[in-house]
Chain A
Amino acid sequence: MPHKTFLAFILPSALAMLLFIALPIGSVAVQSLFVEHTKVLRKVQSCTPFSCTEDVQVDEQATAALQRQEPLGSFNGLGTYTDRAHLAFAEIAAILGSNAGVNDIIDRIYNLPFYRALVFTLAYTFVVTPLAMLLGFAIALAVNAVPGFVKGPVIFFSLLPMIITPLVGSLMVYWMINADGVIGASLQTLFHDPKLYLKASPLLTWIVIFLYGIWTNGPFSFVVFYAGLQMLPLDTLESAMIDGASRWERIRFVVIPYLAPLATFVALVQLMDNFRVFEPIVGFNSQASATSLSYAIFNDLNGQFSQLFGSAAATSMLTIVGVVMLLLPVLVRTWREFNRKAA
């Protein structure tokens, strides 16, 4: 393709990407370098129906004047990235400086909000992605084997978890695992343990959220793999059958190699999706046991009455860096395969 044609071909999408992806990210990056300008405080007497007290209020005019001088806020450099709510350099240095062994280090780092969120986010991503893909693959194989007349309904039911809004889905499961809910109460009876509360221990909460994640992410893998199965080379499969290959051997040596590129694609999408896990944390009321990077951003922007834009922007940038690092191996592999094919 001549360069000019190529340019004309990709120009609209390049422009759209610049406008809708690069610009917003750039603005978030700039925002993350600023904090709110210093508020001018003054002592006032304030009275409520209950009492009068000496209080501190913001001197709005002096503060507004500052705001006009510095509309973006005051420049903080990378200060937000290194503060306690994010990478917490000072705290980590202190922990590494004096500690009581590896367990103590892990405990204390895990206590820092960013790392607590990061650990859960990574755990969720790496547990849910492969298991959801496996589940999706298994469903695809099963659906492919059922007779034609039940295929429609079976596909519909397999897709249900994806059709339900994630927040609504997680709320439904949340009520079911409640001690009064159908799952929670059944488990208590099954294990003869009235103290078994799925929402009580962090470990059980994690497991429940993982299972929910697998349930809700399975259908995406299923759809893609099922589409892939429709295009399997039938003659290869038939010759494998003539050679006496069992069903498992056909899957292992024909189906899986054939679907491998699709799996790379599914893994890419699912890694990105799972890394920004958010709804189950809200739905399961699990803030005490599990938070994620996206939840940290939400928490900054949905504060009591003030939004910490700089802090949220810094977490967003760190999330983007995380996604890039996560996808790097997959991207490198795709690049190599592309080069090999080209060669």
Chain B
Amino acid sequence: MKHVLIATVAAAAMLVGCSVAHAECGIAAGHVSILSNDFDALRVLAAAAKDCASPTVTVTANQTAAHKNLQVPALTANPAEYTVAFVANNSISPLLNAGLIQPLDALIAKYGQDLLPNQFIKVDGKTVAIAFDANSQHLFYRKDIFEKAGLAAPKSYEDVLAAAKVIKDKGLLAYPLAAADKPGWDLGAEFVNMYLGYGGAFFDASSAKLAINNDKGLATLKMMKDLTQYMAPDFLSYDADEMKAVYMSGKVAMMDGWGSYAGAVIDPKGPDPEVAANTVLAAAPTVGGGATPAASLWWDGFAIARNISDADAEASFRAMMHAVRPETATTHPDSAPWLIKGFKPGAAAVGVIATATAGAKAYPMLPYMGLLHTALSNEIGGYLQGNKDAPKTLADIESAYDAAATQGGYLKD
């Protein structure tokens, strides 16, 4: 009798468990497959979406840094290989260009009660993606070193230069600064940040014609070069992760690091607790007397593929709604500066939030921005090495971009 009782209770518990899982996501049937980049916040969301798996609902995720090479071919297939693509400012462009993602307005009206209006990524009035977190580069600095040098918190890049000089002259550190100046991706991003800080526009308002060959472009290059005099001589080989490693080893006092790894840098269980405890996360500095932080704001979000059945689209959207529900943000406050409703920013998010509230600009969501980014990365290295002057560098960036944009069909000869 006892055994029967236990078995019944267990069966009932299982039933309840199943129905709870169902009730949570409310999906009857369908396939959900996610293609995404690979970092902490996205792993949290993919894991949360997998809660929705049931005998009738499959949820799979491919999380890889190579997502950008996969997304267009995989979503072009009919039916698409993935139903959900995690995207950001730049990676959404190729999907929009080819019309591979679907408008979400109808699904939002049905299932999107928990979303905030500022999570909607809209193009031409239609919601094409839902953002769930924000990211940006901002200032990380060591308050212990600043105290020793008798310095105040830097607010502008001019302050950063002055502080670096004092720290170096007082012999506190040989190379007080670090930046991600590796040609490839990072160097281009540094230019974009600084140029936005000077209030520059990258393109003509209505075409793909480049518009950086101006005083703001020259000032941007000059500031980038002035900063390098306080960096280790091999600054051109540092990408964002290597910069983080150098900072965490305590060799530099300031860096323009990413908000997405702020949590790891200030983690007291990290490699050097002293560095972690003394790190201040601050807004990205302004530059040239402007009020805008020299940074670009990024969002991460998800989009739903166009070439899938309506049932799968609905299942995918509901699984993602489950993933981005408020509890995800409250259980993982340090994974990202979430844009999700009810999120109370943790210690790691203050830098990004300070940068955003100070009015930093978003990284442009333009179809040809990637081509400019590549041209910037390829051409600025020679300038920072001292092989060419700033006007020549801007002219080189322009010709490199023109060649690529002609190849890509955005400009005509």
Contacts and interface: CB of A to CB of B under 8 A. Distances in A.
Interface string B330-373: 00000000010000000000000000100011101111011101
Nearest to A285: B237
A202 B185 CA distance: 20
A58 B68 contact: no
Nearest to B66: A302
B329 to A, nearest CB: 14
A254 B89 CA distance: 68
- What interface size band does chain A fall in? 35 or more
Contacts, number: 184
A50 B355 CA distance: 11
A197 interface: yes
Q: Chain B: interface residue count, which band?
A: 35 or more
Interface in B77-94: 89-91, 93-94
B362 A197 contact: no
Contacts of A288: 182-183, 236-237, 381-382, 384-385
Nearest to A174: B237
A308 B356 contact: no
Contacts of B131: 48-49
Nearest to A178: B234
Interface string A34-71: 01111101011111111111111110110110000000
Interface in B164-191: 174, 182-185
A150 to B, nearest CB: 40
Interface string B203-216: 10111100000000
Interface string B263-303: 00000000000000000000000000000000001010000
Interface string B59-89: 0000000001100000000000000000001
Contacts of A54: 205
B152 interface: no
B99 A61 contact: yes
Interface of A is mostly: loop
A55 B366 contact: yes
Contacts of B98: 60, 64
A319 interface: no
Nearest to A61: B99
Contact of A56 (B174, B208, B412): B208
B400 A85 contact: yes
Nearest to B409: A36
Given A41-B207, A49-B339, A308 B404 contact: yes
B118 to A, nearest CB: 5
Interface in B88-120: 89-91, 93-94, 96-99, 118-120
A36 B185 contact: no
Contact of B94 (A35, A50, A305): A305
Nearest to A45: B124
Contact of B412 (A38, A44, A197, A308): A38
A310 interface: yes
A79 interface: yes
Interface of B: 68-69, 89-91, 93-94, 96-99, 118-125, 131, 134, 174, 182-185, 203, 205-208, 232-234, 236-237, 239, 249, 297, 299, 339, 356, 360-362, 364-367, 369-371, 373-374, 378, 381-382, 384-385, 387-388, 392, 396, 399-400, 402-404, 406-410, 412-413
Given A55-B366, A64-B98, A305-B90, 10 more contacts: A35-B409, A57-B366, A63-B97, A107-B387, A285-B182, A288-B183, A289-B236, A302-B69, A304-B374, A308-B408
24 contacts: A36-B409, A39-B409, A39-B410, A41-B367, A50-B356, A57-B96, A58-B96, A80-B407, A111-B392, A179-B232, A180-B249, A197-B233, A197-B234, A284-B237, A285-B184, A287-B184, A287-B378, A288-B182, A288-B237, A288-B381, A299-B378, A303-B371, A305-B90, A310-B407
Top 5 A-B residue pairs of the complex, sorted by shortest distance between their CB atoms: A304-B370, A288-B381, A60-B99, A200-B233, A36-B409
